A and B are shown apart, each in its own frame.
Chain A
Amino acid sequence: MKRAFGGPAIFLDRSDINTDEIIPARYLTEVTKDALKPFLLEDLKLDGFDPAGEALRKAKVIVTRKNFGCGSSREHAPWSLEVNDIYTVIAESYARIFRQNMFNCGMLAIELTAADIDRILALSENGEVEIDVDLQKHQVKASVGASIEVFKFEISPFDQALVEAGGWVEFADQRY
Chain B
Amino acid sequence: MGQTIAQKIFAAHLRDEPFPGTYVLDLDRVLCHEITTPVAIADLEWRGKDRVFDPLKIKAVIDHVTPAKDSKTAIQGKILREWAKRHDIPDFFDIGQNGVCHAIFPEKGFIRPGYTVIMGDSHTCTHGAFGAFAAGVGTTDLEVGILKGVCAFRKPESILVNITGTLGEHVYSKDVILHIIHLLGVNGATDHVIEFRGPVVDALSMDARMTLSNMAIEAGGTCGICLPDQVTVDYLWPFISDEYASKAAALADFQKWHSDADAEYARVLDVDVTDLEPQVTYDYKPDCVKPARQMAGTPVDQIYIGTCTNGRLEDLRQAADILKGRKLAPNVRGILSPASPKIFREAMDEGILGVFMDAGFCVTNPTCGACLGMSCGVLAPGESCAATSNRNFQGRMGQGGMVYLMSPSTAAASGIKGTITDPRDL
Contact = CB atoms under 8 A, between A and B. Distances in A.
Interface of A: 16, 18, 20-21, 24-26, 28-33, 43, 45, 66-67, 70-75, 78, 93-98, 100-101, 104-105, 156-158, 161, 167-169, 172-173, 175-176
A176 B138 contact: no
Given A75-B139, A156-B22, A43 B399 contact: yes
A30 B72 contact: yes
Contact of A26 (B20, B36, B374): B374
Interface stretch (B255-263, B311-319, B388-396): B388-396
B251 interface: no
Interface residues of B, number: 57
Interface in B11-37: 15-16, 18-22, 24, 35-36
Contacts, number: 145
A16 B285 contact: yes
5 tightest CB-CB pairs across the interface, nearest first? A101-B138, A75-B138, A104-B140, A29-B72, A158-B22
20 contacts: A24-B399, A25-B373, A29-B72, A29-B76, A32-B42, A67-B190, A72-B122, A72-B372, A72-B391, A73-B120, A73-B138, A75-B138, A78-B138, A93-B187, A95-B187, A96-B220, A101-B138, A101-B140, A101-B141, A104-B138
B225 to A, nearest CB: 15
Contact of A31 (B20, B79, B138): B79
Given A72-B122, A176-B15, A158 B372 contact: no
Given A75-B140, A169-B140, A20 B150 contact: no
A30 to B, nearest CB: 7
From A16, A33, A45, A93, name the one whose CB has the most chain B CB atoms within 10 angstroms.
A16
Contacts of B136: 73, 97
A50 B136 CA distance: 31
Nearest to B143: A169
B15 A168 contact: no
Contacts of B141: 100-101, 104, 168
B43 interface: yes
B222 interface: yes
B75 A31 contact: yes
Contacts of A18: 393
B148 A31 contact: no
B231 interface: no
Interface string B91-135: 000000000000000000000000000001110100000000000
Contact of B38 (A31, A100, A173): A31
Given A158-B21, A176-B148, A70 B394 contact: no
Interface string B150-191: 101010000000000000000000000000000000110011
A158 B121 CA distance: 23
Nearest to A68: B187
Nearest to B221: A96
A104 B393 CA distance: 26
Contacts of A97: 122, 136-138
Contact of B191 (A78, A96, A167, A176): A96
Contacts of B139: 75, 101
Nearest to A42: B399
Contacts of A20: 372, 391, 393-396
A39 to B, nearest CB: 12
B22 A67 contact: no
Given A67-B220, A95-B190, A29 B42 contact: no
A66 B186 CA distance: 10
B373 A73 contact: no
Contacts of B138: 73-75, 78, 97-98, 100-101, 104
A158 B155 CA distance: 12
A32 B120 CA distance: 16
A172 B358 CA distance: 55
B349 interface: no
Given A67-B220, A71-B391, A73-B136, 9 more contacts: A20-B395, A29-B65, A31-B39, A31-B72, A32-B42, A66-B187, A161-B19, A168-B141, A172-B150
Please indicate which of the listed interface residues B15, B75, B220 has the most CB atoms of chain A within 10 Å of its own CB.
Answer: B220
B36 A74 contact: yes
A167 B143 CA distance: 12
A168 B395 contact: no
B137 A156 contact: no
B18 A168 contact: no
A169 B394 contact: no
Given A172-B148, A176-B15, A43 B140 contact: no
A126 to B, nearest CB: 31
A172 B152 CA distance: 10
A156 B186 contact: no
B216 to A, nearest CB: 11
A70 B187 contact: yes
Contact of A93 (B39, B64, B120, B190): B190
Contacts of A21: 393-394
A161 B121 contact: no
Contact of B394 (A45, A66, A67, A95): A45
B66 to A, nearest CB: 12
A16 B187 contact: yes
A70 B221 CA distance: 11
B144 interface: yes
B345 interface: no
B49 interface: yes
